[in-house]
């Protein structure tokens, strides 16, 4: 949309063991390894998206895991690289106010699951600031 290359800057990334709540959310066994990743997506010097993803590592090809864990690559680009047939199941869409994500300005928050072979490959929450940066 901005006609500038999108870059990803990882804020945090670590592996957790799925507790009951995560296991139910992602449809995996308790104790499964889950990649928990938080990033900001930039176009030029401007942050357009703050995103968190939860990904069951057991459901990914090894090369995809490696890309996700080692590099600041957008998830959409990783999926295209691996030619995985996926769908996005929308979970929630809402406007939030007073959140610290973008210094308290209102944000559009969307949560969805990326599904591959009828299993959750990723759970994603994206937050978009509602301000003038979208007047492109």
CA–CA dist 36, 55 (Å, integer)? 7
pLDDT tens digits, 33-47: 999 999 999 999 999
Q: How many domains does the chain have?
A: 1
Q: What domain range includes position 119?
A: 4-127
CATH classification at residue 89:
3.40.1410.10
Question: Does residue 136 fall inside a structural domain?
Answer: no
Q: Is the pLDDT of residue 1 over 80?
A: no
Q: Is the pLDDT of residue 102 over 80?
A: yes
pLDDT of residue 131: 94
Over residues 51-80, the mean pLDDT reads 86
DSSP structure string for 45-76: TEEEEEEEEEEEGGGS-HHHHHHHHHS---HH
CA atoms within 13 A on the CB side of 94: 7
CA–CA dist 8, 10 (Å, integer)? 6
CA–CA dist 105, 102 (Å, integer)? 6
CA–CA dist 44, 48 (Å, integer)? 10
Question: Does residue 118 fall inside a structural domain?
Answer: yes
Over residues 12-19, the mean pLDDT reads 96
Question: Does residue 57 fall inside a structural domain?
Answer: yes
């Amino acid at each position: 949309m901005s006609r500038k290359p999108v870059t990803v800057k990882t804020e945090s990334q670590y592996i957790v063991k799925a507790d009951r709540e995560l296991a139910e959310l992602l449809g995996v066994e308790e104790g499964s390894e889950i990649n928990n990743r938080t990033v900001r997506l930039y176009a030029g010097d401007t942050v357009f998206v703050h995103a968190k993803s939860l990904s069951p590592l057991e459901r990914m090809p090894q090369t995809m895991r490696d890309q996700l864990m080692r590099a600041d690559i957008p998830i959409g680009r990783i999926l295209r690289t691996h030619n995985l047939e996926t769908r996005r199941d929308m979970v929630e869409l809402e406007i939030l106010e007073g959140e610290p994500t973008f210094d308290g300005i209102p944000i559009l928050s969307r949560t969805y699951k990326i599904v591959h072979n009828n299993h959750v490959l990723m759970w994603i929450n994206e937050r978009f600031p509602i301000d003038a940066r979208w007047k492109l």
